[in-house]
Amino acid sequence: MEILWFLIAAVMLGAALGPFLMRRRGGIRLAAPGSPDAADPEEYGFVRQEELDVRLPGPDQDLLDVLDVVQRTQDWRAASQLLAGTPKEGEVRWQRVQSFAGAASLELAQRPGEGGRWLRDWRSEAPKDAGAAQVHAEFLVQQAWRSSSSGKDDFRIILEEAKALCAQAALLAPGDPVPYIIELSIARGLSYPRPEFDQLWAKLIDRAPTHLGAHLVALHYLSEKWHGSRAEADTFATHAASRAPQGSLLAALPLFSVYDHLPDVILVSSFYQSAVVSRAVEGALFAVHAARPDDPMLAHVRHMLILFLVRSERWAEAVKQVVAVDGYVGALPWTHNPDPAATYTVHRNLAVAGYESNGGNPATLRG
């Protein structure tokens, strides 16, 4: 097992050095540092690292088809039609708003001044379109966090503009929780005082009491890294999990709270076998087993489980989660890294290496 933990350490070192190495090599994709050769993607039916989709946590073919049309033609109408036909109940609408905003943000980063023109046209040509207002607000939030290192003034100005757009979006779509979820992200950036956050949260849960995406954003606000404390975040997650209806993925929320408070350096080798981590992992596994197979948040929980199961050396369980989500890496914990696909691939390879070292192989996995 020592070699596997050495590889995990190498991954962490690689995450720190990755941007430097990418610049030195002219942007050529490098193999993830420390990746073992044991996991041949083709043997397990896995997608190769360079083909992993970093935009989504799991499949949404309608969204991918529309994104292709919008980005190829720069015509916003297909995006408007898709969101108009996406129910405001549930999690899918929020994920699609995030994806459209992320696509526009990435376009703008790649082609400054020109990229994302379709979103600007959408807002100017359809000012009463609730979907356009939501995507624009989320786009501004993502832009603000991208620019957060360049200056506090720009950061606040962009978030204040996004806040005003959220208010407009809420008026355009009464009962839709998405504008309030976007404002939760703004609350973290603008340091809303707790009473103001509580009022916003009350409005949101009145509209979507079991929305996992909303709870994840609220959890980030309550994290000790921002405005709350670890105890406060853990209590919020535990209470939400205990009140979760049958089949709800809210039972996995404590695992995300543990992730939010992982220490920068873990000196105790048994940390991932500790009672706190084990309880959170078991809760998330229970939630996954009880959830509907088509729950749009299922992939989010599976991706988080991969990280914890690998580091807990629960190789067979980790591989099963990999099989369920492979092909997509647009989710935590991978998106916290400069190269989500590389980070995911190393954990995937570690899972397979541990699985095979205990007698597993592609045939036994399929059986």
Q: Model's pTM, two decimal places?
A: 0.86
Domains with residue ranges and CATH for the chain? 1-60+296-367 (no CATH), 61-208 (1.25.40)
User: Residue 8 above 80 pLDDT?
Assistant: no
C-alpha span between 62 and 44 (Å, rounded) = 27
User: Residue 22 above 50 pLDDT?
Assistant: no
Residue 37 confidence (pLDDT): 47
C-alpha span between 233 and 221 (Å, rounded) = 9
Please write down the long-range contacts of 259-263, taking CB distance under 8 Å and 24 or more positions apart. 259/304, 259/307, 259/308, 259/332, 259/333, 260/219, 260/220, 260/223, 260/225, 260/233, 261/223, 261/224, 261/230, 261/233, 261/234
Residue 367 confidence (pLDDT): 58
User: Residue 27 above 60 pLDDT?
Assistant: no
Residue 89 confidence (pLDDT): 85
Residue 13 confidence (pLDDT): 41
User: 203-244: per-residue pLDDT in tens?
Assistant: 999 999 999 999 999 999 998 666 668 888 999 999 999 999
Look over the chain and give the mean of its residue pLDDT values, rounded to a whole number.
87
AA identity, residue 234 = D
Least confident of 22-31, 109-118, 345-354: 22-31
Residue 108 confidence (pLDDT): 93
Least confident of 2-6, 73-77, 103-107, 246-250: 2-6
Angle at 164 between CA 162 and CA 166, to 5 degrees: 70
C-alpha span between 284 and 226 (Å, rounded) = 24
Calculate mean pLDDT across residues 326-352.
95
C-alpha span between 12 and 79 (Å, rounded) = 38
Calculate mean pLDDT across residues 107-116.
90
CB 220 within 8 A of CB 226: yes
Helices 130-146/117-125 angle, 10° precision? 140
Calculate mean pLDDT across residues 256-279.
89
Angle at 127 between CA 330 and CA 100, to 5 degrees: 10
User: Residue 44 above 90 pLDDT?
Assistant: no
Residue 362 confidence (pLDDT): 85
C-alpha separations of 213 from 164, 177, 291 in Å = 22, 11, 15
User: Residue 14 above 80 pLDDT?
Assistant: no
Task: Give all strands (DSSP E) within 183-338, no chain letters.
Answer: none
